[in-house]
Amino acid sequence: MPPSFGKGMTRSTSSILAVPFALVLAVFFVLPLLLVVVVSFWDYTEYSLIPDLILMNYAELLHGCFDWDQGLCTTFATYLSTFKYVFLTWCFTLVIGFGVALYLVFCVRSLKMQIVLFLVCTIPFWTSNVIRMISWIPLLGRNGIVNTALMSMGVIDQPIEWLLYSGFSVTLGFVHLYTLFMVVPIFNSMAKIDKSLIEAAKDSGASAWQIITNIIIPLSRSGIMIGSIFVITIVVGDFITIGVLGGQQIASVGKIIYVEMSYLQFPAAAANAVVLVSITLLMVAAMMRIVNVRKEL
């Protein structure tokens, strides 16, 4: 029987069609990840890697972490700091991304204008990530535009110190860089909402806010979830933005891994990476349990 496509496609033909992508994933994703897991059990010295099966890297990672009277161990403190930025970035990108998508879908009437405004949102992506980060420095620095302007207006006498190389600038950088990752999936799921549902809700007496909470949020939750997964997984492993806008003063898990790598402590870095990936996967799994993204796509 010749292979048939579409409706009559059998299980075996569809598996064959999935093979190329499965191979790509296996070679470029699963294999490297397995290698990282394997290396995390190796031993190392200053100049060599020793294949082994030891738990030392994990033990060092958690060293002193359950010794409560010593205060928070470095690992826990770093995770806490990382998750603080994950949480702040998630909150701001969610609110801004939801707002932008809401405006684009429900306030902009013509499709042409929607497309134009949507493209405007992507303009920052015409330059590289790092350039977009660095461009904040002349704006926020001690003698930057913001401080100079405020001082010349007489609002402040002394430059504001916390504008740059601070938690503020790191959060600002993350929000600036990743809001679009929230806008796109939310826009996508909002665009699928039938406009007559909004009218039906208005007809039932709902105010704008009640329409948002009762109709629009529940119906765009798959977009919200996908956007959240994007933002959270990106920020959780970041070390560049935190480095550049935090003035190399703020700890993050990604940065620890980066530093360990630069000292050729690959097994230690691998152990850190395995822990980070596991935590991230657990978070994503928890989010997927809340919303069945597959069902709603």
Enumerate binding residues for other proteins (CB under 8 A).
194, 196-197, 199-207, 210, 214-215, 218-219
Least Å distance between CB 214 and other proteins?
Answer: 8
Least Å distance between CB 188 and other proteins?
Answer: 17
Cβ closest to other proteins, residue 11 vs residue 295: 295
Cβ closest to other proteins, residue 24 vs residue 197: 197
Cβ closest to other proteins, residue 157 vs residue 194: 194
Cβ closest to other proteins, residue 211 vs residue 270: 211
- CB distance 140 to 164 below 8 Å: yes
The total number of residues written for the chain in this structure: 297
Least Å distance between CB 284 and other proteins?
Answer: 23
Q: For residues 207-235, b (16+ Cβ closer than 10 Å) or e, as one string?
A: eeeebbeebbeebbbbbbbbbbbbbbbbb
Cβ closest to other proteins, residue 134 vs residue 288: 288
Q: Which residues share a beta bridge with 43?
A: 50
Least Å distance between CB 205 and other proteins?
Answer: 4
CA distance 54 to 49: 13
- CB distance 184 to 268 below 8 Å: no
Least Å distance between CB 117 and other proteins?
Answer: 21
- CB distance 165 to 145 below 8 Å: no
CA distance 38 to 36: 5
